């Protein structure tokens, strides 16, 4: 039985988490809760494995030390929710009989351009073979759209989840020669639904080559060669152009948006009656 089948069978029965697994999960939660006290420092080195697949302009802006939008006071709590979700997922997987042989393991991927560091989530053994998995807590929207299938994730991967998984897998191969990319275990934070999205191990070479190319480009990135990966978009209202321009989705969520678009204005759509119709405008005429 594969992970998805084991998990489905477990949840469809009368699921119980044995005491030893509850104890193991509580220790894991202690470690995660302790992270609340860490202050993340910007490293002077190369991007980490969880960063390297992001749009290149974001890595470039980070390297240049551009000002970021300040984190809200609740940001660290939001991160804790993600960590808690991971603990719950691990406890459920163990209770469902999935054999986890490594958890939260630090790895180093050696590339021609330098070493990329990171921390993988899970290594699972099925029979004699090993596979590597990431756990992702997702909003309802991301759960339904991004994690709909492997192809959906591949076509909408602003966070670089594919580089992350394939990079970890390649890095782990020194210690576990038969390891393959498994995929993602996604949890809908709102509904509690879980979904297993399998990766395609044949894609590993392409994504690890991409990591190498990104790092080569990163080393050459400086003040003189910054390029945005995205353009702003013309605004339409009832299918008519308004003359205003606004940021697309990726830029609207990017922490560097105000440094990248100096005239940016966060304002309500002047034509809309909805109280929530706010946009990031690069051009706002009326």
**Closer by beta carbon to ligand SF4, 230 or else 278:** 230
221 binds ligand SF4 (CB under 6 A): no
Query: Least Å distance between CB 219 and ligand SF4?
Result: 18
Six-digit token pair at 241?
């152009």
How far is CA 221 from each of CA 203, 214, 224, 268, rounded to the nearest angstrom? 27, 10, 8, 36
**Closer by beta carbon to ligand SF4, 60 or else 146:** 60
- Tell me which of 32, 126, 200, 230 binds ligand SF4, using CB under 6 A: 230
- Tell me which of 217, 250, 267, 278 binds ligand SF4, using CB under 6 A: 250
Query: Least Å distance between CB 159 and ligand SF4?
Result: 12
280 binds ligand SF4 (CB under 6 A): no
246 binds ligand SF4 (CB under 6 A): no
- Tell me which of 32, 198, 217, 228 binds ligand SF4, using CB under 6 A: 228
179 binds ligand SF4 (CB under 6 A): no
Query: Least Å distance between CB 134 and ligand SF4?
Result: 23
User: Cβ(119)–Cβ(106) under 8 Å?
Assistant: yes
Query: Least Å distance between CB 55 and ligand SF4?
Result: 5
Query: Least Å distance between CB 187 and ligand SF4?
Result: 26
281 binds ligand SF4 (CB under 6 A): no
Burial of 109 (0-12, 13-18, 19+ CB in 10 A): buried
Q: List the interface residues with ligand SF4, window 59-78 (CB under 6 A).
A: 61
- Tell me which of 254, 269, 279, 284 binds ligand SF4, using CB under 6 A: 254
Six-digit token pair at 75?
């940001």
150 binds ligand SF4 (CB under 6 A): no
217 binds ligand SF4 (CB under 6 A): no
Site residues (CB under 6 A) for ligand SF4? 55, 57-58, 61, 228-230, 250-251, 254, 256-257, 260
């Amino acid at each position: 039985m594969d992970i998805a089948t084991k998990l489905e069978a477990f949840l469809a029965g009368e699921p119980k988490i044995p005491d030893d697994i509850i104890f193991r999960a509580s220790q894991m939660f202690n470690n995660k809760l302790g992270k609340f006290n860490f202050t993340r420092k910007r490293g002077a080195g190369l991007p980490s494995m969880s960063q390297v697949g992001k749009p290149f302009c974001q890595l470039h802006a980070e390297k240049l030390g551009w000002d970021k939008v300040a984190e809200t006071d609740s940001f660290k709590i939001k991160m804790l929710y993600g960590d808690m979700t991971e603990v719950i997922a691990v406890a459920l997987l163990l209770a469902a009989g999935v054999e986890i042989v490594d958890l939260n393991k630090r790895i180093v991927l050696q590339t021609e351009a330098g070493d990329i560091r990171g921390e993988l989530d899970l290594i699972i053994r099925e029979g004699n073979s090993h596979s590597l998995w990431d756990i992702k807590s997702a909003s309802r929207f991301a759960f339904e759209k991004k994690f709909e299938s492997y192809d959906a994730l591949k076509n909408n991967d602003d966070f670089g989840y594919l580089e992350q998984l394939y990079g970890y897998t390649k890095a782990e191969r020194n210690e576990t020669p038969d390891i393959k990319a498994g995929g993602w275990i996604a949890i809908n934070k709102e509904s509690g639904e879980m979904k297993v999205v399998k990766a395609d191990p044949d894609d590993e070479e392409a994504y690890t080559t991409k990591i190498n190319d990104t790092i080569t480009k990163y080393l050459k990135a400086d003040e003189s060669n910054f390029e945005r990966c995205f353009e702003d978009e013309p605004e339409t209202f009832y299918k008519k152009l308004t003359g205003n321009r606004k940021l697309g989705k990726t830029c609207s969520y990017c922490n560097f948006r105000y440094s990248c678009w100096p005239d940016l204005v966060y304002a309500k759509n002047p034509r809309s009656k909805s109280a929530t119709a706010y946009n990031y405008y690069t051009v706002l005429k009326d």
